[in-house]
Amino acid sequence: MSDDLTEMLAPEEKPEEKKDVTDLLLHDILTGTLPAGTWLKQIDLERRYDCTRPEVRRALDRLSQRRLVQHNPNRGYQVYELDDQRTREISDIRVILETGVADRMIANVTPAAIAELRGLARHFDEMSFRGSIMEHYDANLAFHRALLMLAGNSELVEVVAEIRQRTVSAPVSQWRTRARIEQSAREHHLMVDALEARDLPELKRLIEIHIRQAPIKA
Amino acid sequence: MSDDLTEMLAPEEKPEEKKDVTDLLLHDILTGTLPAGTWLKQIDLERRYDCTRPEVRRALDRLSQRRLVQHNPNRGYQVYELDDQRTREISDIRVILETGVADRMIANVTPAAIAELRGLARHFDEMSFRGSIMEHYDANLAFHRALLMLAGNSELVEVVAEIRQRTVSAPVSQWRTRARIEQSAREHHLMVDALEARDLPELKRLIEIHIRQAPIKA
DNA sequence: GTAACCAGAATTGGTGCCAATTTACGATAA
DNA sequence: TTATCGTAAATTGGCACCAATTCTGGTTAC
């Protein structure tokens, strides 16, 4: 594995854009552009994202607080290497939270919400074929965010988004298999179906399957 | 409300101690020493905790990431003022999570764990009478941490600890009423009882009541 | 008397530099 | 030839200074 970050990906230069460095770095970690274990040298990040040293430091500190990168004092930062147990634990938390509010999602669902979710699910389908890995990832995020919003608890949406960011680095690589992507796309539509039919047990079952990335048994 | 932080509390000077500034500031916010809305001027914090400017800035940035302090660009940081809706939403999340793993807690419970929990519950009782507000707060934290540990999901323990920190500033002030404190202490013991009896519905009921700080109906 | 405006003070936030620690490399000795 | 030690390079992390923005108080105009 190469230690030099600059050669791994040259981000397209957009002079007018002024995004936060933390988000850029986060994205590159989540999409697997910076694989687990990579050393994040401050000098490299500075050049890579065309930003200053303090910005790099703040980004690294923030991501190490979220346990996405590991901080070795006086040695440096590296992308966190997550073990299977933590992955399973985080999935468990997500299952508990998201199935736990399934009843509220059904209670609050409206035809307009159904239409919006169908649109987002289709957008995910689209991105599966034609989009980049980032657009694909974002489309998935948008769908799940909209779905959770139905529970009427905006704090929950944030918490889940935060938790999800702790474990996607591994699954995102699994996404490279076309079969898994298409299965996810199907599951999205099935979840909307269950919502529309107000079928609580089925919705819960789908959510759990979807989070655990288990083979679907329809 | 005074704007000058230095006059609010003089922390005892311990020269040999070298704790993290973030923790110190966090503690002062959670215990209500720095009430909601207080402006956290960097120069004041620098003097208050006897640390450097970068340390203060890192602490403020970290706590603003956790949404414990609000960052107004070019204006400053202030202790977050949380509204009732957010408090309710956060409580909902905690109820879902902690009742969601109640079955696992019962499944994993051992006599040794029961003994440990009883000890921690008694320690909380003790601190209610003789401890400072901080010791009291820490005793409560220790009990709930040990309780959650039974679920066998260490990631969950961290997540709950994190989201708990988003809402305690208000309840901590409610703790000043002796009645509420004694009720909390009783609930701790009742939860251990339910655990020992392996009574799942009762345990769930107690957890929900305890989190929502509702009047107990035994 | 009140409102708008302008100057001075204070605070935030960014930039650059330097010390401390660690790593890598090469020389020396067994 | 190999292991060990020592020096040099590189990286991290802290510190001090300075620019930019905002707030405060007083003055002027209406």
Write down the domain spans for chain A. Answer: 5-79, 84-212
Report pLDDT for A133.
78
Average pLDDT over residues A58-83: 92
| CB within 8 Å: B155 and A93 | yes
Surface-to-core class of residue B115, CB atoms within 10 Å of its CB (0-12 exposed, 13-18 middle, 19+ buried): exposed
Question: Which residues from B are below 8 Å from A153, CB to CB?
Answer: 89, 92-93
> Which of A64-73, B28-37, B107-116, B172-181 shows the lowest mean pLDDT across its residues?
B172-181
Question: Which residues from B are below 8 Å from A100, CB to CB?
Answer: 96-97, 100
**Cα(A100)–Cα(B104) distance, integer angstroms:** 16
CB B54 within 7 Å, strand D: yes
Q: Is residue A110 within 8 Å of residue A118, measured between CB atoms?
A: no
Q: Write the pLDDT tens digit of every residue in A153-192.
A: 999 999 999 998 887 655 555 666 788 888 999 999 999 9
Question: Which residues from B are below 8 Å from A93, CB to CB?
Answer: 97, 153, 155-156, 159
> Left if phi > 0, otherwise alpha if psi is -120 to 50, otherwise beta: which for B2?
beta
CATH code of the region A84-212: 1.20.120.530
**Owner of token pair 């703040």:** A58
| CB within 8 Å: B156 and A92 | yes
Surface-to-core class of residue B149, CB atoms within 10 Å of its CB (0-12 exposed, 13-18 middle, 19+ buried): middle
For residue B97, give the nearest of A90, A96, A153 by CB distance.
Answer: A96
CATH code of the region B5-79: 1.10.10.10
ipTM for this model: 0.83
Q: Is residue B94 within 8 Å of residue B159, measured between CB atoms?
A: no
- Of residues A192 and B215, which shows the higher confidence score? A192
Strand D, CB < 7 A, residues 5-64 of A:
40-43, 53, 57
Q: How far is the CA of B55 from the C1' of D16 (A)?
A: 14
Q: Is the dihedral of CA B39, B42, B43, B48 positive or negative?
A: positive
Closest nt to B73 (CA→C1')? Answer: C12
Which protein residues, judged by their CB atom, are less than 7 Å from any atom of strand C? A 52-55, 74-75; B 39-43, 53, 71, 73-77
Phi, psi of B81 (to 5 degrees): -100, 105
Q: What value does the CA radius of gyration of chain B take, rounded to a whole number of Å?
A: 19
The percentage of chain B sitting over the pLDDT mark of 90, rounded to a whole number, equals: 65
Q: Write the pLDDT tens digit of every residue in B57-87.
A: 999 999 999 999 999 999 999 999 878 888 8
